[in-house]
């Protein structure tokens, strides 16, 4: 029965719940031609109508004619990057872990841990005074080319077993489904991405106090990365999904 195998199971149980609410100011954003021109002469953003205003500094007039053009050599408007944006994000992390010693001891020790994240909200304000954009949680960057995929739910669970010099573990990563708000009827390859499950396994053996050998398999089921619609700057998100496929590795560690 369970009590015979794990007599002190509940004593090793750890639960954590963290709510996080983050605001990052001075994020890099792009200041376009029209924005620089309009805000240079807007009393809200340039109340003293000074040429030293940050938006006016992007305007370069032809010294002979005073003209501005987007493509001219002597007169032009510079489209530049500036630390003017704001990013807000919030969510909840829930963690649980437990260590179990088998009875009899010859069966070793077992541990399990999981972290579940709910990505409640992420919004971006490109410039001061602009409204915040849509909540991009659960989307492929809200349809913005090159944006990061943000599953609303993520979870990582790890099972581990140790018996003397031998250790083994299996890690499961879950990524919730996301919708593609950038897909239109004309270019829609997929309306979104289904939930993904990745598995990673590894084993190790301590030859002695100095030498350890190990090996493992990443992306055990050889899940292929999803392909986005052709409206994106690239067709997948390597920061979220595995783009290599099943991967075997082995090695040794020396302790001194």
pLDDT digits 0-9 by tens, 85-131: 899 999 999 999 998 887 677 788 889 999 999 999 999 898 888 89
pLDDT at 64: 76
pLDDT at 218: 97
DSSP 55: T
pLDDT at 230: 47
pLDDT exceeds cutoff 80 at 231: no
Nearest partner of 60 among 48, 69, 50, 47, judged by Cα: 69
Helix (H) or strand (E) holding 33: helix 33-40
The predicted model scores a pTM of 0.78
Most confident of 12-21, 66-75, 105-114, 189-198: 12-21
9 pLDDT band, cuts 50/70/90, is: low
């Amino acid at each position: 029965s369970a009590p015979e195998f794990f007599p002190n199971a509940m004593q090793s149980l750890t639960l954590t719940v963290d709510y996080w609410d983050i605001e990052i100011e001075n994020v890099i954003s792009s200041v376009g031609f029209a924005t620089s021109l309009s805000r240079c002469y807007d009393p809200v953003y340039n109340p003293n109508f000074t040429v030293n205003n940050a938006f006016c500094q992007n305007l370069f007039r032809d010294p002979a004619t005073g003209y501005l053009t987007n493509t001219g050599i002597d007169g032009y408007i510079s489209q530049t990057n500036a630390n003017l944006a704001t990013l807000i994000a919030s969510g909840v992390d829930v963690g649980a872990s437990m260590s179990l010693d088998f009875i009899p001891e010859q069966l070793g020790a077992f541990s399990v841990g999981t972290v579940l994240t709910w990505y409640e909200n992420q919004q971006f304000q490109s410039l001061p005074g602009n409204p915040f954009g849509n909540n991009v949680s659960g989307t492929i960057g809200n349809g913005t080319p090159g944006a990061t995929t943000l599953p609303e739910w993520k979870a990582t669970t790890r099972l581990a077993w140790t018996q003397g010099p031998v250790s083994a573990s299996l890690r499961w990563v879950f990524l919730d489904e996301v919708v593609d708000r950038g897909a239109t009827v004309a270019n829609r390859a997929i309306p979104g991405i289904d939930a993904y499950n990745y598995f990673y396994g590894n084993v190790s053996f301590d030859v002695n106090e100095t030498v350890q050998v190990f090996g493992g398999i990443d992306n055990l089921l050889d899940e292929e990365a999803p392909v986005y619609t052709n409206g994106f700057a690239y067709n997948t998100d390597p920061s979220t999904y595995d783009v290599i496929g099943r991967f075997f590795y082995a090695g040794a560690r020396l302790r001194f």
